[in-house]
Amino acid sequence: MGFVLYGRSAEISALDEVIVRAREGSGGAVVLRGEAGAGKTALLDAAAARGGAMRVLRTTGVESESDLAFAALHQVLWPVTGSLDALPEPQRDAVSTALGLAAGSAGDRFLLGAGVLSLLAEAAAPDGLICVVDDFQWVDRASADALLFAARRLGTERIAMLFAVRGDVPVKGVPLTVDVRGLPESAAAELLESRCGGLPAHVTRDLVTLTRANPLALGEIAARLTPAQLAGREPLPEPLPGGARLFGDRVAALSASARLVALVAAVEADLDQVLRAADRLFAEQPVRPGENTGAGAGRVALAELEGAGLAEVSGMSVRFRHPLIRSAVHEAAAPAEVRRVHAVLAELTTDDRRAWHLAGAALGQDEQVAAALVTAAERARDRGGYGAAATALARAAELTPEPRTRAVRLKDAAVAAWLGGRPGQAESLLAEARERAGGDAALAMEIARLRGRFELNSGNAAEAMRILAAGDSLDMLADAAEAASYVGDTAAIVELGRRAAAHPEGFLRDTVAGIGLTLDGDAAGPGLLRRALGRAGELEDAAGHLWAAAAASYLGESDLATEMVGRAGQVARVSGMTGQLPVVLEFVATAERIAGRLARSQAVSEEGLELAREAGYENTVAAHLANLAVLAALRGEEESCRRHAREALAIAVPHRVGMRAGVAAYALALLDLCLGRHAAAHDRFTAIVAAGPGAGHPTVVWRSAPDRVEAAVGAGDDAGARAVLAAYEQWSKHAATAESHALLARCRGLAESSEDAFAEALRLHTNPFEAARTALLLGERLRRAQRPGEARAHLRMAWETFERAGARPWARRAQDELRAAGESGQAPPAAVLDALTPQELRIAGLVADGLSSKQIAARLFLSPRTVEYHLYKIYPKLGIGSRTELARLVVLQKAPVAGDDML
């Protein structure tokens, strides 16, 4: 097949660049995209051969195996399963389960993807690795998800991943694409000359034009032309064969026995099964003159296929020389023949293969076949193959005669598709399930709840609220209240709380009812919230801890809410909460930011954004973008703040996610405040208060109150500042934590120009970042009152804190005030850990907590080698040489990374 490399220097150069970078420790992935016969496989072969000492792992998608969970992954990873013990235990277990080496559940698909990355990284030592994935359009979904998860995270690995795909099949998250089109005209002419000798110019021109210089078509067609046609004395065939027709005549020329073996190989690649099925099918047929259908006839027919250049035996599999040959074999067979082949193979195979062969043999609906597919789906789901499970369940539903059972299977298929990161498919399947549910009220309500959850994660939050509010169960009311909170619809939250109050007492009931009653001004509400928080120690799942965070938030205790969110993050990491981690990380990132740990908030949001995009959770994407916008504002990065806010609003506003739209708007207001544009900030904050449901949120209004007071005072609107203070006092009247009282005292200091209130705030603060803001405000007041000696200590503390946090605008403001107060000394020494990137800071914090590289890798969905790579970068930056020294630095500096309660 070397002829297809004519004229491919540009393509080879692009592949070489990816491979060279990987060899040097900067891994990456590339997609070769082109039509059948364009030469993608030959380019992959050439690239792999040019890797030198680099190891090569390879898998090829096979159409007949595209519904078998992890078929392709098994092929590519099997040679390196001996390295599984080097993986972190959760990743090792996930990969072992997916490959069928261990029983149990693979858990979160993100965990499985991280395990695949780690195993590839182990295989890459010491010289690097080239992972080749051919015919990606037929790779089973479970394998595709895991391989692409790894492909998006190769930055520090010595791995090059090369994908070849036909047509427009998406290869999600791999941005580098090399289009493999027809050959340049000169290369096409050279190819024809090598195959046919010198041809008249007009014949060459016509062949190149009619085949669009497709190398396979050029070679195959030229080989079939008569000498007269090649010489130009007779016209070329009209039309020229293309696609599967390129091989149609060669398939037709086979003996009946060879065509039958070809058909068996087209639906089952396993050599042993092909031969056994062929023998059984031959025994059913009448003996034809000249046909060998006795013992060993299958091997003879297979040899004929190989001799014709149509197929080959590779290991224990039968592979067609080109996928178009398989298509030609199918086109030549009658539907009844195909069904019979599947039926025989179903008798010879077991488990998933048997289920799919039964489905291929089915004519009309068949409950036994549907049940076999459901069992196959359950196996795929347990191994983490949610996409394969969705496909099997959807096909099972087609074969199911009983309407309600069909609806249940469609519903289950929708859930599997959702967990597999395919929200569009999930919504389509759920819509069909809803149509089939008939008069079954319980099933209809279950489907409605799923519709609401899907809509809340990726669609219109107001529509999610409407769907979920139609239910009466406590779980649906809680979901509806969550949706109403996303929208920012206070009236709906109040009404749903009233309805929840009719249910028996319990943590969830007290939380939902307490939030609604508190917002309605009912004195019973805060008591219910306090009682719910009293049960927080009994909570086990991440969702429960997030509800506890909401309870604390509505009591005005943002610091306790931050603690509860941190616990939710811990539980989500440890339990492998399938599909929900990106959502949990929304709240973890926000909590980190509110606590002043800006670098860690950045790292969490970057991770959450990546996972949310992979999962298809559009509203979670908006959440992380909005948080990144706020972080950019705190750093004074105006362009980045505006970009992230704009992207967040583009999702949040049409989706009616007022919570995220409010945070994005807050980012822009905070940017103005940080840069000293008080009048502009005041106007933006006023607009945030006025924004209705779907565009703003009451929690954003409450949490931004200290900023709004500062903006109003800076803009000269003292009356406005006092009005904000009064509202904030009302909101915080049930708060009991020191930090909540500190923030309220700072607001009084600003609105009432009270030095005593500022002093009280400084005494109460438990959040160092907020303490620095208060110290800056007090220091400014003292300096302007001609008391520079008293001001300097406050200003110096603020300056140092802001410098460490990376809040540059406030750091500059504190520095300017300090100089005006008469201190012109050197800048405060930068915290040593400031030299680290957000990811390095997170790893440093986990090292300080005593976690090994394997444990850190499991926590952060990295490979252990990536963790070691980051440590290799961290040590020289900090001038240290061991984990012990790193842990000591983290503890001594009490840096924003100290502890891992938010992870």
Can you tell me the distance from the alpha carbon of 637 to that of 538, in angstroms, rounded to the nearest whole number? 42
Task: Return the pLDDT at 109.
Answer: 79
Nearest Cα neighbor of 409 from 382, 372, 383 is 372
Residue whose structure tokens are 């750093």: 635
- Using alpha carbons only, how large is the chain's radius of gyration in Å? 33
Burial class (CB in 10 A: 0-12, 13-18, 19+), 109: buried
Residue ranges of the domains in the chain?
Answer: 2-179, 185-232, 250-447, 832-893
Pick the CATH number of 2-179 from 3.30.2040.10, 3.40.50.300, 3.30.420.40, 3.30.360.10: 3.40.50.300
- Phi, psi for residue 87 in degrees, rounded to 5: -85, 155
Whether residue 519 contacts residue 490, with contact meaning beta carbons closer than 8 Å, is answered with yes
Query: With b meaning 16 or more CB within 10 Å and e meaning fewer, what string describes 427-456?
Result: bbbbebbbebbeeeeebbbbbbbbbbbbbb
For residue 516, count other CB atoms closer than 10 A to its CB.
Answer: 28
Can you tell me the distance from the alpha carbon of 599 to that of 631, in angstroms, rounded to the nearest whole number? 9
User: In the numeric block, which tokens belong to residue 312?
Assistant: 């080959």
| Beta-sheet pairing, 317-320 with 311-314 | antiparallel
Question: What global pTM score does this model have?
Answer: 0.84
Can you tell me the distance from the alpha carbon of 220 to that of 39, in angstroms, rounded to the nearest whole number? 13
Task: Return the pLDDT at 898.
Answer: 30
Whether residue 411 contacts residue 443, with contact meaning beta carbons closer than 8 Å, is answered with yes
**Positive or negative torsion for Cα 885, 886, 888, 893:** positive
Q: What is the pLDDT of residues 320-340, one digit of tens each?
A: 888 888 888 988 999 999 999
Burial class (CB in 10 A: 0-12, 13-18, 19+), 335: exposed
Can you tell me the distance from the alpha carbon of 89 to that of 106, in angstroms, rounded to the nearest whole number? 12
Whether residue 615 contacts residue 581, with contact meaning beta carbons closer than 8 Å, is answered with no
Task: Return the pLDDT at 244.
Answer: 65
Query: With b meaning 16 or more CB within 10 Å and e meaning fewer, what string describes 710-745?
Result: bbbbbbebeebbbbbbeebeebbebbebebbbbbbb
Task: Return the pLDDT at 575.
Answer: 59
Measure Cα distances from 246 to 73, 224, 327 in Å.
31, 10, 10
Can you tell me the distance from the alpha carbon of 401 to that of 685, in angstroms, rounded to the nearest whole number? 59
Task: Return the pLDDT at 897.
Answer: 35
Task: Return the pLDDT at 111.
Answer: 84
Whether residue 118 contacts residue 863, with contact meaning beta carbons closer than 8 Å, is answered with yes
Beta strand spans in 78-204 (E): 129-134, 159-166, 177-179
Q: What's the CATH class of domain 832-893? A: mainly alpha
**Run of H or E including 777:** helix 768-784
Can you tell me the distance from the alpha carbon of 568 to that of 566, in angstroms, rounded to the nearest whole number? 5
Burial class (CB in 10 A: 0-12, 13-18, 19+), 228: exposed
Query: With b meaning 16 or more CB within 10 Å and e meaning fewer, what string describes 466-476?
Result: bbbbebeebeb
Can you tell me the distance from the alpha carbon of 602 to that of 805, in angstroms, rounded to the nearest whole number? 12
Nearest Cα neighbor of 678 from 704, 714, 636 is 714
**Run of H or E including 401:** none
Low-confidence ranges of the chain (pLDDT < 70): 1-4, 105-107, 243-244, 286-295, 574-579, 825-832, 892-903
